[in-house]
A and B are shown apart, each in its own frame.
Chain A
Amino acid sequence: MKKSISGIFKEGILTNNPTFVQLLGMCPTLATTTSVVNALGMGAAVIVVLAFSNLFISLLRRIIPKQVRIASYIVIISGFVTAVELLIKAYFPAINKALGLFIPLIVVNCIILARAEAFASKNGPLESFCDGIATGIGFTLALTCIAFVRELIGTGALFAAADGSGGVQILGAWYKPASIFLMPTGAFLTLGCLIALVQKIQYSSEERARRKKIELDAIDGGFHETLMRDPDTGKIVRRPAVAEGPGPEQTAAEEPAAPETENTPEPAAEQGKEDA
């Protein structure tokens, strides 16, 4: 069951992305992605909360009674969320102002509890901590992607500060911002399109990996006699019917080939001799 750290990160960020694949935590996803800065702020808060709640839940997983585990998780999670909220209020008042209620609402974010229940309660502290960071990064990446699209289309600029000031104007004056993308409608549109895109990419890559695995399995799994990999195309083809066994046959086929190649120069030499 134990997974490698790299596998945890790959799964949390890509293959099992909490937003695009698991579709968890949609409320903050839709609400806080009006600007890239907001998305990054929200993502950072989630990363911290997720990592530390995972860590402590993993440490306490053998102590917490099964019947009260959810309550225990919630207490731990809410504690870290409150701590993060206080820190943000103290040192990032602008972000706190922009994100408003959604920081405390991290407590009930499905992602946090899902990882606590599905991973942290069954794995060691290190794995759980890494899983929290990986999932948090996946969440942040998803938010940033959505916010990127929404802010670019909605305002024509990017990276505006949390209070709406600043920002880098990307699109020229000719562009008339479509403010609908800053509204919930735009959030749903963007999210739907991005999910479709991610699913397409993931499916195609999986399909490729699966095909490769199938081919390998076919050869290694007991069909050497009848199947072989075409050395030219790399595809699985039916082994040409030969009386002899497959192994020797190949070697035999190759060996004769070599002499053939050797033969080619010979005629030249012979010709040369003849010429001479």
Chain B
Amino acid sequence: MANLNDKNERPGEADGSWSIDLKFDDPSPAEQTAKKPADPVPDDVFAFDIPEVIPETPAVPATPPKKPEAEQPATAEPKKPEPKPEKKSEPKKPEPKPEKESEPKKPEPKPEKKPETKAEPIRAEEGRAVDDFLAAFAPVKDEEPKPEGNTKGGDDVLAEISAMEPVTDTRVLFDTIDEPETPAGDESGKPAPERDERPAKEKTSRASSILAGLAAKRNREPAVVKPREKKTVDESSKSYLVRTVAVLTGICAGVALLLAVIHGATQSVIAQNIEREKNEAILAVFPEGNDIREYTADDGETVYVVLRDNVIVGYCVNAVGSGYIGDISMMVGLNSEHAVNGIRIVDIQETPGTGTRVQSESFLSRFKGVRDPVTIGENIDGITGATFSSRAIAQGVNQALEVPVDLNDAARSLGASLASLDFIMAQPENTDNGDEPLRIVDAHEAENEEQAAEEEPTETLPKTVEEPVTETTEPEEPGTEASENEVPAEEEPETEAPAEETPVEEPAPEDEEPAPEVETPQPTHPEPVQPEPEQPEPTQPAQPEPTQPEPAQPTQPEPTQTVTPEPEQPAQTWTPEPEQPAQTWTPEPEQPAQTWTPEPEQPAQTWTPEPEQPAQTWTPEPEQPAQTWTPEPEQPAQTWTPEPETPVVTEPEPEPYVEPEPVEEEPEVQPETPDVPDVTEITEPEEEIPGGSILITEPEPEPEETEAPVKPGGWVFGP
């Protein structure tokens, strides 16, 4: 009802109320018209009507006596006194009226009741109680024009109905009718005395009793209002304050209890969901993995090492990049070479249709093989319209790349073995593609400076290769792959030293399945162990070599920077070597002669890109010297091999050009080397490496004199 009424009042009711009032007003004397001009404003003015009515009441007493006397002798003279009591009662009204909102309606009905009373003669036939009241009430204010008012009212109403606006009028009529019916039963205790007083004054007339009922009703309402006001509690009292605190505390405690119960019930389920979601993301990156273990990186970040049959396949880092709308959470998978293997978006809230396109495999695959921090627009193309989202992915990848994870240490702590041939074999293409540019850069450096030691081996490689060729040896064939190049260096020593034999064995166990080599396969574990003893023997007369050489990067630098680092980096270089030789091995034994021919061809191909991207790759290198180390030896082998084989090729020529550049940089860096412990560390490993080569006996003098100093510079420059 409330809604309807409110809305009815809005539109055109103004006209309706207007017109009806006018009808009634027309017959009524000037006094009443004077009151109603205020009405032109429709129902909204209801509130304003109140004050208007209030003045009326005092005015009414003045008018009625005049009217009945002069105009209406027929109604009944005895009733004339009645209006007076009304006057008395009415003046009381104004007091309560301002207090209540409901009252405004009641004052209005009065003026309207008057018009209704005009209709009395006709209605009397219907015999309603309402009519009785009206009849009694009529003489007070009735006037001659009544009949006219009825007819006019009917016409007007008809016109209004046709115009669809008389709502308010009809409602007002209803209200007026309803009121008289109720008053009899509505009397309450308080109003009673007042009502009693009035009848005492004018006990006789029937209208007086009805009016008394009205008065009682009016009086009763204010009485109702008062108790509402009284309900308010004394807010200043201490008890009220205490109660407030107590209620708030109680509510909070109850809510806390509810949450505790629900939290306890859902905690385990939520944890399972999160765990499952995480595992799904990891396995999406490393589908071959069948075991996931947590490992705390050196910087305290938790990474997830993926194992397959207790062999480390790679690890995942949960990285976050800030996108256009919110953070993009992703699981970045890095393989055992610290190159990106895959990315899985865990949580993304980017704009649907544009930002979410970064989830597409076509975009994420662009990061495969990345080893060094990337920048959208330089190293990798972003997605049009999703610039921020693309950057967020790159940010996450860089974040993951920066996490220092030593897989050797991880393998030791987790009781697993490193390097899985299966994994590397599974994705040779990706690694090659991604690594090529980076490794090429490394190759330059190596060529120029450090890897002279390795180059020497590489140089020897051709020698060894020639020899091994007969043996179906390994190094050069792998030369196609950057990583393989490292192997030859190692393998060469292998031929010479007993330790070398062990590495040969190492690949064998890995290759057990695919490659039936002369050497029988042995457990994969010996691989990491073997390189360690190898290095210590030649390179490090000093300390921790056997125990810490490979994994020790984090731990060693702290205690003894100068001595310990040496074993570390060589260890790094070593560790990848055994792994990769395995790769190279498998193809080699099978088709040594065949592979030979392609080798010279491919290195030439690879060479061309190398000179192009040395500058770019240079910057990233310094960040991850350990990583770069491994590739360096690899590619020099590539570069070298072609040279001897195909001296005619012009490509190798650019190499020397490229070399001088790094050489220039090197001297700059060299001053740094003494300052930084790392540099010293790096320098030492160089010496060590030559030491390793010393076993080979060929390279020793060369690297030490010329290149050994150069290497540290170049490497130091990086960090």
Q: Which residues of A are in contact with B by a Cβ distance under 8 Å? A: 11, 15-16, 34, 60, 63-68, 71-72, 75-76, 78-80, 82-83, 86-87, 89-91, 93, 97, 100, 179, 182-183, 206-207, 209-211, 213-215, 217-218, 220-227, 236-239, 245, 247
Contacts and interface: CB of A to CB of B under 8 A. Distances in A.
Q: Is the interface of B mostly helix, strand, loop or mixed?
A: helix
Nearest to A203: B7
B247 A237 contact: no
Contacts of B252: 75
B258 A225 contact: no
A4 B179 CA distance: 25
A90 B126 CA distance: 71
A93 B167 CA distance: 55
Given A79-B258, A86-B259, A223-B157, 5 more contacts: A64-B251, A210-B167, A213-B170, A217-B174, A239-B154
B177 interface: yes
Contacts of A245: 122, 125
Contact of A75 (B7, B251, B349): B251
Interface residues of B, number: 56
Contacts of A214: 161, 164, 166-167, 170
A24 to B, nearest CB: 16
12 contacts: A66-B232, A75-B251, A78-B255, A79-B255, A86-B270, A100-B326, A210-B7, A211-B164, A226-B150, A226-B158, A227-B154, A245-B125
A239 B588 CA distance: 115
A207 B10 CA distance: 12
B244 A67 contact: yes
Contacts of B259: 79, 82-83, 86
A68 B244 contact: yes
A226 B23 CA distance: 14
A63 B240 CA distance: 11
B158 A65 contact: no
A63 B247 contact: yes
Interface string B168-181: 00110110010000
A63 B248 CA distance: 10
Contact of B4 (A80, A210, A215, A225): A210
B170 A90 contact: no
A183 B244 CA distance: 46
B344 to A, nearest CB: 14
A222 B173 contact: yes
B678 interface: no
A221 B173 contact: yes
B174 A15 contact: no
Contact of A183 (B154, B167, B326, B351): B351
Contacts of A64: 247, 251
Contacts of A86: 259, 262-263, 266, 270
Interface in B260-278: 262-263, 265-266, 269-270, 273, 277
A222 B247 contact: no
Given A82-B259, A238-B155, A221 B170 contact: yes
B559 interface: no
Contacts of B155: 226, 238
B243 A65 contact: yes
B424 interface: no
A225 B119 contact: yes
A76 B353 contact: no
